[in-house]
Amino acid sequence: MIWSLQENFMKIPLKINLANIPTPVQKNKFEGCDFFIKRDDYTGVELSGNKIRKLEFLLADAKKRKSDYIYTCGGDQSNHARATTIASTALGFKTKLFLWGNKNQRKDGNLFLNDIAGAEIEYLTKKEYFNVNSIMLEKKRLLEKKNKSAYIIPSGGSSNLGIWGYINFVKELNEQIDLSKIKGILLANGSSGTAAGIILGCAILGIKMKVFPVNVLLTEDEVRSDIENLVYGCIDDYKLNVKINFSNLEILDGYSKEGYKKISKEKISLIKELFSETGILLDPTYTGKAFKAFYDNFLKNKKKTNILFLHTGGIFGAFAKKKNYLD
Ligand SMILES: Cc1ncc(COP(=O)(O)O)c(C=O)c1O
């Protein structure tokens, strides 16, 4: 095991240090139930959230390739797009975002930060967004005709390279707490790279922790297949010596029935209760929905839980939805 662990971690690709890590693991109490929370919302202030761990690898690759532009995509309040803009601008790249949303909306939350950081933004309709990867590729080709290069980061930074951020995360967590006492980790799932990295990190380290992704954007079947593709893709690309089975993967479906860009009143009231009891703020798109799944399945009416909640950030999304929080 140890041999395989060292062998696999020797294959870690090049990275740039951008995140404030290790992030703390805190013991908290909500409605009388003790639980652990890993604060990946503390990876930074402007760079807050899970995306920066993936960007450490992706932007190092872009730098190595001497790219002029970083192209990426997401919803109009994408935390990934905001973290990409801020990190890539600071590293000297130009940033272009392809966002699903309305061009004429007020620039709030993540959009506000993208705007003042100087990102170029192209807005796409939901229908156009289905083809965002081909659109980015086409624009990259046009740019190359002007002798400039673009590095394309897929949605959420979830690629065979990006998920190294969450393979490393498992090593970090394992050095912080005794994972034999933690039965599982629960997290919001969008583009599936965070969950894929955790599954692979657990396999490399021989950790038998359950992984509970809460799908907020894609169907359960899509998430399962995306996670499997990312895990096998990373194993192939980096010739990892690891046996994988997905028996520890349990997707908690049905917590985003209101839609990706919306949040129910019931969830908002849970978010506000958690905030006033603990000071922990959740976002409306990802962590607020994941916490509802955590509450229903592991926390409600319990004295303690050995399932850890991963706070993946998203705080600026709350500002864009302040009307819902205030209602
Ligand atoms: C705050 C937050 N939490 C969770 C996720 C989901 O992570 P992933 O896309 O790796 O599934 C995202 C992005 O999609 C996010 O912005």
Domain formed by 2-50+159-326, architecture: 3-Layer(aba) Sandwich (3.40)
146 alpha carbon – ligand 1 mean position (Å): 34
| Dihedral, CA of residue 11, residue 16, residue 18 and residue 20, to nearest 10 | 40
Two domains, one topology: 2-50+159-326 and 52-157: yes
Question: Residue 5 has what pLDDT?
Answer: 67
Nearest-CA neighbor of 314 among 20, 49, 42?
49
pLDDT score recorded for residue 11 = 81
Cα(9) to centroid(ligand 1), Å: 24
Residue nearest to atom 12 of ligand 1 (CA): 190
Which among 51, 1, 31, 4 is positioned nearest to 304, based on CA atoms?
A: 31
Q: What DSSP assignment string belongs to 150-178?
A: EEE--GGG-STTTTHHHHHHHHHHHHHS-
Q: Best mutation site among 79, 211, 311 for ligand 1, i.e. most ligand atoms within 8 A of its Cβ? A: 79
Q: Which residues contact 153 (CB under 8 A, 6 or more apart)?
A: 55, 58, 62, 70, 71, 72, 84, 159, 162
Helices assigned H by DSSP within the chain = 2-9, 51-64, 79-90, 109-117, 126-129, 132-145, 164-176, 193-205, 220-237, 265-278, 287-294, 315-320, 322-326
- Ligand 1 binding pocket includes 43 (Cβ within 6 Å): no
Atom of ligand 1 at shortest distance to CA of 74? Answer: 14
Q: What is the CATH number of domain 52-157?
A: 3.40.50.1100
Task: Decide: 50 in ligand 1 pocket, CB within 6 A.
Answer: yes
Active site positions, annotated: 78
**Ligand 1 centroid distance, CA of 300 (Å):** 24
Domain boundaries, the chain: 2-50+159-326, 52-157
DSSP-derived 3-state class of residue 137? helix
Query: Which residue type is seen at 221?
Result: D
What was the pLDDT predicted at 8? 75
Task: Indicate whether residue 317 lines ligand 1 (CB < 6 A).
Answer: no
Q: State the closest ligand 1 atom to the C-alpha of 188, by its place in the atom list counted from 1.
A: 4
Cα(237) to ligand 1 centroid in Å equals 23
284 Cβ closer than 6 Å to some ligand 1 atom: no
Distance 49 CA to ligand 1 centre (A): 8
Per-residue pLDDT tens, the chain, 327 aa: give them.
Answer: 445 666 777 788 999 999 999 999 999 999 999 999 999 999 999 999 999 999 999 999 999 999 999 999 999 999 999 999 999 999 999 999 999 999 999 999 999 999 999 999 999 999 999 999 999 999 999 999 999 999 999 999 999 999 999 999 999 999 999 999 999 999 999 999 999 999 999 999 999 999 999 999 999 999 999 999 999 999 999 999 999 989 999 999 999 999 999 999 999 999 999 999 999 999 999 999 999 999 999 999 999 999 999 999 999 999 999 999 998
Q: Which residue's alpha carbon is at the smallest distance from atom 13 of ligand 1? A: 190
* pLDDT for 141: 98
One-letter amino acid identity for 178? D
Specify the pLDDT at position 267.
Answer: 98
Best residue among 37, 58, 191, 319 to mutate for probing ligand 1's pocket (most ligand atoms within 8 Å of CB) is 191
φ, ψ of residue 18 to 5 degrees: the values are: -125, -25
Is ligand 1 within 6 A of the CB of residue 159? no
Q: What is the DSSP letter of 249?
A: B
Phi, psi of 86 (to 5 degrees): -70, -45
Using CA atoms, how far residue 236 sits from 62, 157, 189, 194, 273, in Å, is 21, 18, 23, 18, 45
